Structure 1
Amino acid sequence: MRILLINPNTSLAMTERMVESATRSLAPDIELVAMTADRGMPYIASRAEALLAGATTLEMIAQHHAGMDAVVIGAFGDPGLIAARELFDLPITAMAEAAMLTACMLGPRFGIVTFSPVMTAWYEDAVSLSGLNGRCAGIRVPDSGFGSIDRVQHELETELTELCCRAAVDDKADAVILAGAPLTGLAARIAERVPVPLVDPLDAAIGQAALLARLHTRPARAGRFARPGSKPATGITPALAAWIEHRVDLIEVPPAEM
């Protein structure tokens, strides 16, 4: 099985960390093919940035989805997820939705802990989009700032661990999600220090993508996620334009390095 991991952030170091973390729990028959956005922001932190990253995500999927069994969008606010499911025929998961649905299987209420207050409103939107407002115990963020996005989980490890504990004890969360691609891998490192289960969003997204691929679900031909009809597309990348236009001469680009 081949799973395409799209990092809509432009940080190659972030992609490498996600691959390293995911490999620890990856099933032996799964090959993870990782791609990093070549334009945009080092890390997405707002609704506006997510909108831009969503378009890039669609372009990257159009370019590289041939030969893949599923796609994972590696950003917690799930930029481009709904549109991607509408356009493409293979299973697509993303970190926020997958983490929340996984947390709901661990208990009635989940908490979210992230590293920057800038992202709180965007993450609240992600909870609403999944229809899980009633099961979210709240979002907690450290008071401290950080110096490097590539080192943020190490810089704020003590504060993030304490917030996970407070989410469990004060907010009555039955599971806690460590939100944001830069926190990938932290859940495994601090799990013994937190009294409730921790959810790593990337592990959840990859696990659910693999499950959907193994179920061999057929693409929707009717309803809300039926692929839209063809129409002319101007000024967008050739692969995405070809897919939107339903052309048989789809431009496929071989997978590149991360």
Structure 2
Amino acid sequence: MRILMINPNTSVLMTERMAESASHSLAPDVDLVAMTAPHGMPYISSRAEALIAGATTLEMIAAHQDGMDAVVIAAFGDPGLVAAREQFDLPITAMAEAAMHTACMLGHRFAIVTFTQVMTAWYEDAVALAGLQARCTGVRVPDVGFRSIDHVQGELEEALIELCCRAVTDDKADTIILAGAPLTGFAAKVADRVPVPLIDPLDAAVGQAALLARLRTRPARAGRFARPPSKLATGLPPALGAWIEHRT
């Protein structure tokens, strides 16, 4: 089985770290093909940036879907997820949706802990899109900054753990999602310091992508996620334009 993991951020280092982290939970027959966005932002942190990254996600799926059994969008706000499911026939998962559904399987209410305030509104939108507001206790963010996105786990480790524990005691969260691609792998490192299950969104998204691929469900041919009719596309990247025009 081959799963295409798309990092809509432009950080190659982030992609490498996510691929390495995900490798620890892969089944032996799963090959994870990791790719980094060729243009955009080092890390996505707003609705506008997510919109740009969503278009890039569609471009990358169109260009690299051949030979793949499923796709993972490796950014927590799930840029391009709904549009990608509408356009492509492969099973497609993404970190926020996968993490939230996994959290709901392990408890009734979940909290989201992330590393910067600028992502809060975008993440709240993701909860609303999933229809899970009633099961989310809220988004918690440290009130201290960080210097480097590449080292945010180390810089904010104690602050993030404290927030997780407060989400349990104050918000009565049953599970906690550690949100944001730069926090990939952090759950495994600190699991024994928080009294409820911690969810790593990438592990959840990759695991669910593999499950969906194994189910071998047929793509939608009717309804809300049937592939749209062909349409003339002007000025788009060749692979995406050809897909939209039904030339591939």
Same fold (TM over 0.5): yes
Partner of 2:13: 13
Matched, 1:67 2:60: no
Looking at structure 2, the residues matched to 79 and 33 of structure 1 have their Cα atoms a distance apart, in angstroms, of 19
Q: Which amino acid aligns with 1:63?
A: A
Structure 1 counterpart of 2:26, one-letter code: L
Where do residues 8-47 of structure 1 align in structure 2 (5 Å cutoff)? 8-47=8-47
1:246 corresponds in structure 2 to 246
- Partners of 1:68 and 1:169 lie apart in 2 by 43
Report the Cα offset of residue 3 of structure 1.
Answer: 0.2
Hey, what's the Cα distance between the residues in 2 that align with 1:29 and 1:192? 30
Q: Deviations over 1:78-136 (max 9, x none)?
A: 00000000000010000000000000000110000000000000000000000000000
Name the SS of the counterpart of 1:137 in structure 2: strand
Question: C-alpha deviations, 1:59-91, integer Å up to 9, x for none?
Answer: 000000100000000000000000000000010
User: Is 1:174 equivalent to 2:210 in the alignment?
Assistant: no
Paired positions, count: 248
Letter in 2 for 1:154: G
The alpha-carbon deviation at position 164 of structure 1 amounts to: 0.6
Secondary structure of the residue that 1:150 maps to in structure 2? helix
Question: Could you say what secondary structure the match of 1:151 adopts?
Answer: helix
What does residue 140 of structure 2 align with? 140
Tell me how far apart the structure 2 counterparts of residues 167 and 30 of structure 1 sit (CA, whole Å): 35
* AA in 1 matched with 2:210: A
Rounded to whole Å, the distance in 1 between the matches of 2:187 and 2:68 is 28
Q: Which residue of 2 aligns with 1:104?
A: 104
Which residue in the other structure is 1:157 paired with?
157
Aligned residue for 1:5, secondary structure, equals strand
Deviation of 1:194 after TM superposition, in Å, equals: 0.1
Give 1:28's aligned amino acid.
P
What residue in structure 2 maps to residue 256 of structure 1?
Answer: none
Identity of aligned residues (%): 79
Distance in 2 separating the partners of 1:168 and 1:73: 29
TM-score (norm 2): 0.99
Where does residue 253 of structure 1 map in the other structure?
none
SS in 2 for 1:3: strand
Write the distance in 2 (CA, Å) between the matches of 1:229 and 1:154: 48
Structure 2 segments unaligned to the other structure (5+ residues): none
Task: Name the CA distance, whole Å, in 2 between partners of 1:72 and 1:25.
Answer: 15
Q: Distance between the aligned counterparts of 1:195 and 1:126, measured in 2?
A: 25
Aligned-pair distance for 1:169?
1.1
The alignment's TM-score, normalised by the length of structure 1, stands at 0.96
**Whole-angstrom distance in 1 between the partners of 2:27 and 2:104:** 23
What is the one-letter code of the residue matched to 2:214? R
State the AA in 2 paired with 1:23.
S
SS in 1 for 2:150: coil
* SS of residue paired to 1:105: helix
Task: Give me the whole-angstrom Cα distance separating, in 2, the residues matched to 1:63 and 1:46.
Answer: 26
Shift of 1:154: 1.0
Matching residue's letter, 1:226: A
Q: How far is 1:168 from its partner?
A: 1.1
Q: CA RMSD in A?
A: 0.4
The answer to whether 1:4 aligns with 2:23 is no
Q: Give the counterpart letter for 1:124 in structure 2.
A: E
Which aligned pairs between 1:229-240 and structure 2 lie closer than 5 A?
Answer: 229-240=229-240
| Structure with the larger helix share | 2
In the TM superposition, structure 1's runs of 4+ consecutive aligned residues that sit over 2 Å from their partners are: none
